[in-house]
A and B are shown apart, each in its own frame.
Chain A
Amino acid sequence: AQKITQTQPGMFVQEKEAVTLDCTYDTSDPSYGLFWYKQPSSGEMIFLIYQGSYDQQNATEGRYSLNFQKARKSANLVISASQLGDSAMYFCAMREVNTGGFKTIFGAGTRLFVKA
C-alpha cells in the first residue's frame, strides 16, 4: 500500500539558513509523482514543487529543491535562505499511476518555524 512518512513533527531554522524537510514513501508502482505543499496558518494549501519518478534530475523551483533518492524512496525538500514567511506546515504527497493518477496521499506534515 502506498504510504508517505514525515518523521519530523517540528523543525526550527534560523532566518537565511537552509533547512531540509524529510519525506520517505512506499510504493510498488514504478510510475509515480511526488509533491510538496505548504500550508500557512490561513489553511490554504500551496503547491511548491513536483518530482516524477522517471525524472533524471532533482526538481528545483526558486528557493525550493527536491532531493530525490529513488533507491532509498526518499524525497526531501530543501529550502534555501529561509525567510520568516516560510513558517508553515509542509506536506509531502504522492500520486501513482496504478490508482488512476487522481488519488493523492499526504504525509502527516512537518511544522517549520523560522527564527529571526
Chain B
Amino acid sequence: DGGITQSPKYLFRKEGQNVTLSCEQNLNHDAMYWYRQDPGQGLRLIYYSQIVNDFQKGDIAEGYSVSREKKESFPLTVTSAQKNPTAFYLCASSIGGSAQGLSYEQYFGPGTRLTVT
C-alpha cells in the first residue's frame, strides 16, 4: 500500500535533547511538508521541500531543522532551541506544487506525538 509512515507514534524526551522525527513516503511525490498541531488549533507549517536537496522555511521554522537527501524521506529534527516542542507533528506529501498545481491535495502520515519534560 502506498502512503506515508511516521515513527514513532509517541515520543518522550528530556528538555535540552535534540530529537529526530521520521517521515517516509512511497507515493513518489516530489513535495513534502512538516506541520505542527497544538491542542485546539489548526496546522502550522514548519518546513517544506519541493524537490530533493531543497527545502524552505515555513511559518514556524525556528528551533527545527530538516534534510531531504532522498525523495522518499524528510526527517525533522526538533532541537533544544525550540522553546515549546511538546506538540503533535504531522508529515505530508503532495505530487507537487506551483501555480499550476494549486489543486494537489496533501497526503498525511499518522503523526508523532512528542512530549518533552
Seen from chain A, the residues whose Cβ lies within 8 Å of a Cβ on chain B are 4, 9, 31-33, 35, 37, 42-47, 50, 52, 91, 93, 95-97, 100-109
Docked pose: A33 CA to B58 CA in angstroms = 18
Q: Is B40 an interface residue (CB 8 A)?
A: yes
From A4, A91, A95, B102 is in contact (CB under 8 Å) with A95
Report the nearest A residue to B31, measured CB to CB. A102
- Taking residues whose C-beta sits less than 8 angstroms from the other chain, chain B's interface range is 20 to 34
Docked pose: A97 CA to B44 CA in angstroms = 18
B90 touches A100 (CB 8 A): no
A43-B88 contact given A4-B42, A50-B105, A103-B58, CB 8 Å threshold: yes
Seen from chain B, the residues whose Cβ lies within 8 Å of a Cβ on chain A are 31, 33, 40-45, 48, 50, 56, 58, 88, 90, 92, 97-103, 105-111, 113
Q: State the 9 A-B residue pairs at the shortest beta-carbon distance, nearest first.
A: A106-B42, A102-B97, A33-B102, A45-B108, A47-B105, A43-B111, A101-B97, A97-B99, A101-B98
Minimal beta-carbon separation of A39 from chain B (angstroms): 9
A47 touches B97 (CB 8 A): no
B41 touches A100 (CB 8 A): no
A44 touches B111 (CB 8 A): yes
From A46, A52, A91, B103 is in contact (CB under 8 Å) with A52
Give 22 CB contacts A-B under 8 Å.
A32-B102, A43-B88, A43-B110, A43-B111, A44-B108, A44-B111, A45-B43, A47-B105, A52-B103, A93-B43, A95-B102, A97-B99, A102-B33, A102-B97, A103-B45, A104-B33, A104-B45, A105-B45, A106-B42, A108-B41, A108-B42, A109-B40
Report the nearest A residue to B44, measured CB to CB. A106
A102 touches B42 (CB 8 A): no
From A46, A50, A91, A96, B42 is in contact (CB under 8 Å) with A91
A102-B99 contact given A44-B108, A45-B106, CB 8 Å threshold: no
Report the nearest B residue to A111, measured CB to CB. B40
